[in-house]
Chain A
Amino acid sequence: MSEEINKITILSGTNKFGEKERFEKIDIKKGEVVAIVGHTGAGKSQLLYDLERLAQKDTKSKRKILVNNEIPDKELRFNPKRKLIASLAQSMNFFTDMSVGDFLQLHLESRGKKSRQGLIKEVIDEANKITGEAISPEMNLLNLSGGQSRALMVSDVANISVSPIILIDEIENAGIRKEEAIKILVEEGKIVLIVTHDPSLALNADKRIIIKDGGVVKILDTSLKEKGIAHYLNWIENYGLDIREKIRRGEGIKNVEIYCEPIKSKNKT
């Protein structure tokens, strides 16, 4: 990707009653992770859609999106070879009757990229980090489970649809290890927006945008304490996943083993 993205800006539009949103503009800088929260049907996915199509007051919300303080070129919206944005929607299944390996190859070609030795294997290996059931290149896409499909989509977004801006819609519904998935998707120097109902994901972001009735009502910066709480919540969830794994293996569960590790000093997110 030749385009260097330092910042995207959301200029306010209107909510579903036609009232002006309660902000002037939101700047999201390179390297930031932003959560979009709100009740079901509040308009969270609409904001992702506005970003994906780089809306110019031509969507329902009448929002305007700037890239590096400028109105982006129309070509950037649709041509996958120039697209700035990779998105992971809520879809859980593939529709194409094709092997995993061929599919990834085809996607590389449609993005106008040359494959290199071993890339396809890396994409599949990465997907296998976040799903319990291993995927192999010979498998047919149609036969993948929901978890396998999502894992492959995550790895595809991270490795083939490589873009400076990443939009993620409710990754927690996917039946995959979401923490691991986010780690794969959120690379340093990218702009990431996550629509989520998940408290630990929301509190892990740098900022959160609260949406109600189709409009942004509040923008909050995450406090250090909230990040700590996110870490704790995450630990509880992973503990739950470990228990699930034991149950699946047919083991009995005797005790609740509550202990929480301190926050490891991660490289900044």
Chain B
Amino acid sequence: MKFIIFAGTPGSGKTSIIKYIIQELKNDFKLFFAKFDCLQTSDDERIAKEYKIPTVKKLAGELCPDHYTALEIPKIIKENQDKDIVILETAGLCLRCSPYVKEGLGINILDITSGDPSRYGPILTEADIVAISKGDLISQAEREIFRAKVLKVNPKTKITEVNGLTGEGTIDITEFIKESPAIKNEKLTLKHSMPSALCGYCYGNKIIDEKEEHQRALAGQKLKNLVPGLNCGKCGFKSCNEFIRAVLDGRAKKEQCPFIKQ
């Protein structure tokens, strides 16, 4: 199985580009498409309908989207052992993160109008391929300067230009996908570590105040020791962390977790 991650800021053209790629690959390969987003999406349904391939939607909700992606990847791989290519799309939102794994192929869709490439973190600097979108909006001079700047922050990357509206350039990405190695049955490694997330705000504190934050952090850690950390969903929440926040907010009762009851 090949494991391909597409990351890029919202509006960079990821989904349109992925659609062209699915169109080009679907006759020769068994595909699976996973869409990661924060709050809401229907791209998974649209792609399933249009291209008749299995898809899934993963909404991070109150979790950090990149942490959530990493948590979900093993499940997706386990459930899709019969597929040739698994395509994962994520907004990779905070730019500090990179959702890419060493063993698979990481593709950054980079909107050429979105500013200086040096502002981007691992989402760009760790990408195996940088596909520059919306190049048709600007002059050749700016395209060439932009290209040089991308190479400055990520000298090893392969660069290609794509157009999400017409599909121009997507064929280069399909070629890269075909050439990329398959993942073996092994643990995947993140290319870049995630930022730490251990403060009271992670446990849902909203009041900006040192004391409030500290108290919430302590209460959160206490509950964290009680829950199993299995993200089993029996409490009605997608993950243990979301459950803890709900309990601390007063939106849920501790006893909703079957493991705490015992």
Contact = CB atoms under 8 A, between A and B. Distances in A.
A91 B136 contact: yes
B136 A89 contact: yes
A70 to B, nearest CB: 21
A58 B144 contact: no
Interface residues of B, number: 21
Given A110-B147, A110-B148, A153 B139 contact: yes
Contact of B145 (A60, A86, A88, A96): A96
B167 A60 contact: yes
B9 interface: no
A111 B136 contact: no
B148 A59 contact: no
A157 B144 CA distance: 12
B207 interface: no
Contact of A160 (B137, B141, B166, B168): B141
A91 B139 contact: yes
Interface in B105-142: 112-113, 136-142
A106 B138 CA distance: 16
A157 B140 contact: yes
A89 B140 contact: yes
Given A58-B171, A59-B168, A89 B141 contact: no
Contacts of B166: 60
B167 A106 contact: no
A111 B144 contact: yes
Contact of B142 (A88, A96, A111, A160): A96
Given A96-B145, A103-B145, A110-B145, A78 B140 contact: no
A80 interface: yes
Contacts of B169: 53
A160 B137 CA distance: 20
A107 interface: yes
A141 to B, nearest CB: 9
Contacts of A107: 141, 144-145
A221 interface: no
A72 B138 CA distance: 26
B171 A59 contact: yes
B160 interface: yes
Q: Which of B166, B167, B168 has the most chain A CB atoms closer than 10 A to its own CB?
A: B168
Most chain A CB neighbours (cut-off 10 Å) among B145, B147, B159: B145
A53 B167 CA distance: 14
29 contacts: A49-B168, A58-B171, A59-B168, A60-B166, A78-B161, A80-B147, A80-B148, A87-B140, A90-B136, A91-B136, A91-B137, A95-B113, A95-B138, A103-B141, A103-B145, A106-B145, A106-B148, A107-B144, A107-B145, A109-B148, A149-B139, A153-B140, A153-B141, A156-B140, A157-B140, A157-B141, A161-B140, A161-B141, A161-B144
Given A60-B167, A80-B147, A80-B148, 13 more contacts: A49-B168, A59-B171, A60-B166, A60-B168, A78-B161, A90-B136, A95-B113, A103-B145, A106-B145, A156-B139, A160-B141, A161-B140, A161-B144
